[in-house]
Structures are given as structure tokens and as C-alpha cells.
Structure 1
Amino acid sequence: MNAVATRMNASVRYEPLEDMAHTPVPFADLSIQWDQIRPAAMADLEKLFAESAFCQGPWATAFEAQIADYLGAKHAVAVNSGSSALHVATIAAGIGRGDKVLVPAHTFIGTIWGLIYEGAIPVFCDVDDATGTIDLADAERRMEPGVKAIIPVHLYGQPVDLPATLAFAERHGLTVIEDCAQAIGACHQGRSVGTFGAMGCFSFYPGKNLGGAGEGGLVVTDDGDKADLMRAVRNHGQGERYVHERVGYNYRMDGIQALVLSHKLRRLDGWTDQRRAVAARYAEALAGTPLRLPVTAHGDHVYHLYVVRTRQRDALKAFLDARGVQTGLHYPVPLYRQPCLSGIASSHATAPFPVTEDWAANGLSLPMFAGMTAEQQDQVIDAIHDFFKGSRS
């Protein structure tokens, strides 16, 4: 654990700031990670360019082996984005036109693009009030003929209730495709998310806990046949060169992304510890405010995002912005209200989603990143306390 994490673990109590200038606090600072891997990564980049290993190639193959070992999966299939990962997993699951799939209504739209591409129908479900993950009781109410799979999303770094989800899927004969885009490194009972269902899908978008120098994604599975199919699909449907056995896509991972991710993977656990230290400090310092704070309900939490809720969300966001604190909104428009999905969703799309609406209207993401200093976090905490003092006056 580095000096920042050690310092933050040693002192988690909030002390109000006095006479401190409002230095901007970024929502995330990715340069910290690059500074830590730069010397070794630059040396390897020289080798990659010398070998012209740009598309898939040996660096991606090596990364697949490394991350399969890290996650405890038999097979890892590297692709060019998290959305592509979910798409090839949809194909490998045999989900096609007219099939229905249970998905949480509160998630990024990338969760369902693969379904839409294959002509499948998302069946939106409300989410749990405490965690924002799929509400299985609501999913039970929305079951209908033709439902073939469920895509639980480990939202914001919080695993879903995996034992309950697997039991639900088994009872209804559903394939489970885990959306782990925000939760790499999270575990349940010592086992990595992504290894419980038939397939687990990850995103390496730069801002993720394990982020590339651009786009990237991955599917893990213990099913060799599914892995082979996904490898073909990502590479123009080729079983062998220039023999296109099925419709495929150009979803290959760039060698540069694989190289950067390999270097970052070695530091991921330490960076996760730093995120947890930031979250613990937020939790203690903000416990007396009107904010609804994140909870750890199932397994552990890797805090891709630290999302608080308040009915004063917009006013608080504006106040923090004025104090130089960047924040984010994840996700203010539920999927069932997205214009591009009009007429696509299942018959239950118009049913009420009260908890999803609450998360969409009231959720605010605070700055959260590995390497965040105590001083930066104090500035966020101090501004929040000042906001609520002012709102009471």
C-alpha cells in the first residue's frame, strides 16, 4: 500500500478545513496511474512498436492469460470495449431475435446494446433501494413468456446478491451473464465476480478501476466452446484465416491496450485498497449529514463510484462545482425513458419503477480515485458540510 493509502487509513476522521483556497478537485485523476507504470510500460511500448504487434497479437494473448488467472476463470476473451464484451456474450448464450432478457433499469445503456443488436428484448426491472442492483422480487413480478436470460449488473463496484440471483436463474431456467464493467476485483466469499454465471463481462474504459489507454473489454467463462465462439465472433467470424464461418465483428483488442492493462493489473489490488480507504473516510465524515451513503451489502465493494443520494442533488452539485469539486451523474435518465428504445422494450416497460426513479433523480457521484489525497477529500467533505449548514439557515 502506498503512502497515500497508508496516510488515509491512519487518519479517517474529518476535521473542518480553515482558510483553504478552493483548489479544483477532479472527479478522477488518471495521470496518477500512468505515472506509476510509466517506466516499465514505456520500455514495453518500444518493443510493441518494434514488433508491430498492434491488433490482438501476443500482448493481448498474454493479458488474457494473466487476467484469467487473476479472476480465477478458465478462459478470457479480450475485446475492444465492455459493450462488445456483452455483445459477444449475448451471441455465445444463444440469445437472438425475440428472446427476452431481464436487466436492471438503472444502469449504463451498454448493458443492453448486445441485446438490441441481436434483436432481443430487454425486460426492465426495478432495483434495490440500498444498492441500486437488480431487485429480484421485482424481476419475479416481471417474468413473462420468452425470458431466456438475466444480466445482473454489479453496480458502482457493489456485487449483486449472487446466491439469490443464481437461485432465481436456476428456478426459471435462465442463463446468467454478469455485467462486471464497474466491479473488477470485487469478490463474494473469496470468488471473483464474473465467474458465477455462464459468462462475466468487463470494461476497461479509461476511468474504470482497471482502465486502458483507450477502450477495451473482456469476457470470462469456464465453457471452452463459448470461449471459442466468442474468439471467432470478435475476429470477423473466422475459425481460421479467411474462412468466415459465421457473421462476425471487428472487436479485437489493440495490443497497446493489452500492454497497458497488463502493467496496471499488477497494481489493481493496491489501487482498490486506496479506493476503499477513500470510501471509509467519506462514510465516517459524512455520517451526520442528510446524505444517503453507499452500503456494502453483498460480498465486498470496490468503489468504482461513490454515489450519494439527496433530494437536494442539483443544488448540491451546483454548490460543489462552485467550490471547485467535480461530480458526476450516474445515471439520470433510466433506460426505459431513453428515446432510442421507444417501442423496443417488453410489455412491462411502462410499469412503475419507483426506486430507479429515486436513484436517477437523487444520485450524485463524488470524486473517487486511487491516489486521491487526504487534502483533496477534505475539500469535498468540507464543502458538503458547508452546503448543509447553509441549507438549514
Structure 2
Amino acid sequence: MIPMVNLKAQYTEIKDEVEQGLAQTIENCSFILGPNVQAFEQECAAYLGVKHALGVASGTDALHLALLAEGIGKGDEVITTAFTFIATAEAIKYVGATPVFVDIDPRTFNIAPEAILKAITSRTKAVMPVHLFGQPADMAQIVEICQEHDLKLIEDCCQSFGASVNGKQTGAIGDSAGFSFFPSKNLGAFGDGGLVVTHSDSTAAKLKQLRNHGSNVRYYHDIIGYNSRLDEMQAVILRAKLKRLEQYNEGRRRAAHLYSKLMADLPLTTPFEDGLGVHVYHQYTLLSERRDEIMQALQAKQIGCAVYYPVPLHQQIAFKEECEGMSLPVTESVAANCFSLPICPFLKDEEIHEIVDVIKSVF
């Protein structure tokens, strides 16, 4: 059996450090916004090259609070991609704004800058690109568009911790950004967790209030806020993993490049690296018109595989009202043909060869 992500192998590597840190946290009885959360926030800010990094309860919360802190609200429009997990658009809806879905680049699967330009209206207040599957979006063009039209740029980095563009980390390019620490992510917790980052002192101050019941001083509440704080125990785990993140991401890139080399002559489309940034392969996603046959063959051999995402957001029932009749041809084509293979730093070369042999057998 080959799982999509081998979390057990990763745990074995960090077991002693994590268990020692958790035991110390329990002994100290400091569980909410304690020393490990504070240290982790500082370490993330230094790694990402941002002024402020604030731990929150999930990646969804990170995007939600980032939008609120940037002043996005009722009546505003936020341009984003329909080829992403629903949390991207949920966060926009949470603040009362309208997600405006546009098409994607057929090679990177990221939001197409030219599609952003065509979707701008007088109500557009922000753009939220997703660095999908660990591939950075075309940020040079997106930054230029946002500056020209005075739009906020909020990065969805929930799949891209460690990815970079021209030496700058994703999350450090826009006005603010949200990250997810869902267990399967490149930097994953042992449960839910998230991070919001920004260069702005005023935005960071607002975020601190928002994540902690609208309070700066205990029991004094200036605004209606939320209970969205990164757990101290998760921070212990994440600190251990952050030290190894570069090694982990390099392991994912090694596995991805071997996959692509072995499947170079097959009639399917392997992931594209545009050279504008460093892809960290949160997922290794291919395109094939014979997707279902390939996945059935893999499943018969107990090899993990999955479709991210089978139904684009503009075709989801939840968005039926605002997206009735909408057509996004590239997004729809990719969703109909994409599938993902196991990818993680602990995937062995012989496992990759075994997986590719099964795929070759289909052809």
C-alpha cells in the first residue's frame, strides 16, 4: 500500500523532539497563545520575510481574517479562481463580499492574469490568487494589475508554504496572505491550524484583535472578533517541522521530477514549472483523458490517488445563484481530466517506479 502522504514516516523522524516539547507544554500549563506560538510566529516571519505572522485556528480563518483586516466587506467584489478548495471562496462570502470567478492558465492551473483584467469592475476591491498545488501564481503581472487599479492583493498560500517567486516567498508579495497547517500540507500540524502574514503594522494590529474576541486587553473588547488562535500544542509540532521544511520540500521536488522523467513519453500531461518561481509540489497533478482507467488501476494495487478538484466552484450548488450560466472552459477541462499521485518527502524511488509501472500498464 502506498498512501498519498506518509505522515507516519514523518512522525517517526520528529517523534522525540515533538513528544519532549508537548510534555514540557503540559508541564508548564501554558496552552493559549503561549511561548511556542509566539516563537513559531517569529520563526515564520523570519522564514517568509514578512514583518508580522499571526497564528490562527485554520487556513480558512486565515483567509477570512485577512479579508476583514484589509477592509473587504459587503458589496465588494473579490476576483479569484474557481479551481481551488472551497475555503478560498467561503472566506470571501463570510465577509459579505462576492467572489468573482475567472479562468485559469492551462499549464499552471493558476488564475490567469488576463482574466483578472477583464473581470475588474467599479465594485472590485481585491484579488485573491491561489498558489495551487504549490506552484506560485504569476505574481509579477498580478501585482502590476493590483497597483494599476488600486486593489488589495491577498494571497491564498494554503498550499504553498516554502514556494517562492524571484527569491521572495509566497505570502510576502501581497498586502496579506493566509496559510493552512492542515496535516497533509507541506508544513502540517497534527490537526487544524493557520497563519496570517502581513508587512503592515495596522493590519497586524487588527488581526490580533480579530483572532482574540476583538480584544487587545483582556476583558476589554473594541470590536466584535472571533475565537481563532493557533493552539500551543500544534505550535510545538509545527516548530519541529519548520526546521526541516526546506529538506521536506526538496524531497517533494525530487519525487516530482522523477515522476515526470519516467512519464515523459506517456500520452498524458505532467505538471508544468513556469520558471517564474519554485514549485513545492503540495500535490503532483497530471492530466489525462483516461483518468478513470488510470485511477482504477492504481486503486487495484492499493496505491493512493485523488482528484483535486472534480467540481469547480462556479459549478457548485453553493454558488448556483451568482454563477448561473457561467462558463470557464479551461477550468472545466482541467477538472474533467486531472488526478493526483502520492507525493511526500518520504516517497521512495522504488515506490515511484512501481506507481509509474501501473500507469504504463494502462497505456
Whether these two folds match at TM > 0.5 is yes
User: What is the 5 A alignment of 1:22-171?
Assistant: 24-171=1-148
Aligned mates of 2:118, 2:250 — CA distance in 1: 38
Equivalent pair of 2:266/2:360 in contact (CA under 8 Å): yes
Q: TM-score, normalised by structure 2?
A: 0.98
Aligned mates of 1:375, 1:56 — CA distance in 2: 43
Q: CA offset at residue 379 of structure 1?
A: 1.1
Q: CA offset at residue 340 of structure 1?
A: 1.7
In the other structure, the counterpart of 1:212 is: 189
Aligned mates of 1:257, 1:327 — CA distance in 2: 28
Corresponding residue SS for 1:123: strand
User: What is the 5 A alignment of 1:336-375?
Assistant: 336-344=314-322, 350-375=325-350
In the other structure, the counterpart of 2:310 is: 332
Which stretches in structure 1 are left out of the alignment for 5+ residues? 1-23, 389-393
Q: CA offset at residue 239 of structure 1?
A: 1.8
Aligned mates of 2:175, 2:201 — CA distance in 1: 11
Aligned mates of 1:310, 1:56 — CA distance in 2: 46
Equivalent pair of 1:53/1:59 in contact (CA under 8 Å): no
Paired amino acid for 1:33:
Q
In the other structure, the counterpart of 1:18 is: none
In the other structure, the counterpart of 1:4 is: none
In the other structure, the counterpart of 1:376 is: 351
Paired amino acid for 1:306:
Y
In the other structure, the counterpart of 1:311 is: 289
Q: Which moved more, 1:332-341 or 1:299-308?
A: 332-341
In the other structure, the counterpart of 1:321 is: 299
In the other structure, the counterpart of 1:3 is: none
Aligned mates of 2:262, 2:136 — CA distance in 1: 24
Aligned mates of 1:110, 1:55 — CA distance in 2: 25
Aligned mates of 1:383, 1:81 — CA distance in 2: 36
Identity among equivalent positions (%) equals: 39
Equivalent pair of 1:152/1:178 in contact (CA under 8 Å): yes
Deviations 1:231-258 (A, max 9, x none): 1101111121111111111101100111
Structure with the bigger RCO (C-alpha within 8 Å, sep 6+) is 1
Q: TM-score, normalised by structure 1?
A: 0.90
May I ask how many residue pairs the two structures share in their alignment? 362
The answer on 1:271 being equivalent to 2:238 is no
Equivalent pair of 1:291/1:308 in contact (CA under 8 Å): yes
Paired amino acid for 2:353:
D
Q: Specify the structure having the higher radius of gyration (Cα).
A: 1
Aligned mates of 2:296, 2:85 — CA distance in 1: 23
Corresponding residue SS for 1:272: helix
Aligned mates of 2:91, 2:294 — CA distance in 1: 36
